[in-house]
Amino acid sequence: MRETDFISGFAKGLSVIEAFDAANPRLSITDISRITGLERATARRCLLTLAQLGYADYDGKFFSLSPRILRLGHSYLTATPLPRLLQPFLDQLSEKTGESASASVLDGNEIVYIARASHKRVMSINLNPGSRLPAYCSSMGRVLLAAMNDGDAKSILESSNRKANTPNTKTTIAELMAELQLISEQGYAVIDQELEIGLCSIAIPVRNMRGTTIAALNVGAQAPRVTVDEMVTTYLPVMQSTRDTLAGLLV
């Protein structure tokens, strides 16, 4: 892309929107400037523009995103056929396993949920389409990373904030790369209370007819109710059957 094709003002506005999250639902101009690295005057103009267009609310000190911002995410979900295609299959998978089933894609060093069938809540946070989790410590994230070449996967891991969410969390590049190699060989990833205590999950890649991994599919369960070995023997065959049925529909 030519330098003249890049609209820096638009990019700055997007960075302001991305600064808001579950931990920062209300932010001041100073907060936005600190998080994004933008000059305070630039951050102010971006925020006031968002408020003028109805994408943000302003109480005189703090800004927060308004419901109108959902139009942006909804545009992806409605314009991209994959979430709509996957949803009925996730519903069936959840019904068969008695657990929550989800699908996600990779976005930088995070996964983004694009479809979900929630049978029962297994995490302390509520997950819905649009929710994000770190790729390095999630089963779907590791499946998607394992589908990449080693160099690209390593770069993503190095750019991640690899904190130990639990005593089980793998955080070093060496152990994560070894895990990705194992996942690539066996065709699935299992997380045993690495993302959150009490949560285990299993994920497999979803490929199109050309064999390219385009998404990941997972089932999550509460660790006290099911062991990792039981997930592999009980849930994996059902998940693979679901994927095989999907394969012919994905171009």
Q: What pLDDT, on the 0 to 100 scale, is given for residue 229?
A: 93
Q: What pLDDT, on the 0 to 100 scale, is given for residue 120?
A: 61
Domains in the chain with CATH codes: 3-70 (1.10.10.10), 80-247 (3.30.450.40)
Question: 56 - beta bridge partners?
Answer: 65
| Spatial separation of the C-alpha atoms in residues 241 and 91, rounded to whole Å | 14
The answer to whether the beta carbons of residues 35 and 27 sit under 8 Å apart is yes
* Confidence band of 5 (pLDDT split at 50, 70, 90): confident
Q: In the structure encoding, which two tokens stand for residue 191, read together?
A: 């997380």
Mean pLDDT of the chain: 91
| pLDDT tens column, 123-161 | 556 788 888 999 999 999 999 999 999 999 999 999 999
The pair phi, psi for residue 245, each rounded to 5°, is -65, -35
| pLDDT tens column, 47-76 | 999 999 999 999 999 999 998 987 887 676
| Spatial separation of the C-alpha atoms in residues 154 and 148, rounded to whole Å | 9
Q: What pLDDT, on the 0 to 100 scale, is given for residue 79?
A: 66
| pLDDT tens column, 116-125 | 998 765 555 6
| Amino acid type, 152 | D
| pLDDT tens column, 190-222 | 999 999 999 999 999 999 888 899 999 999 999
Question: Is pLDDT at 111 greater than 80 in this prediction?
Answer: yes
Closest CA to 162 of 171, 153, 154: 171
| pLDDT tens column, 23-50 | 899 999 999 999 999 999 999 999 999 9
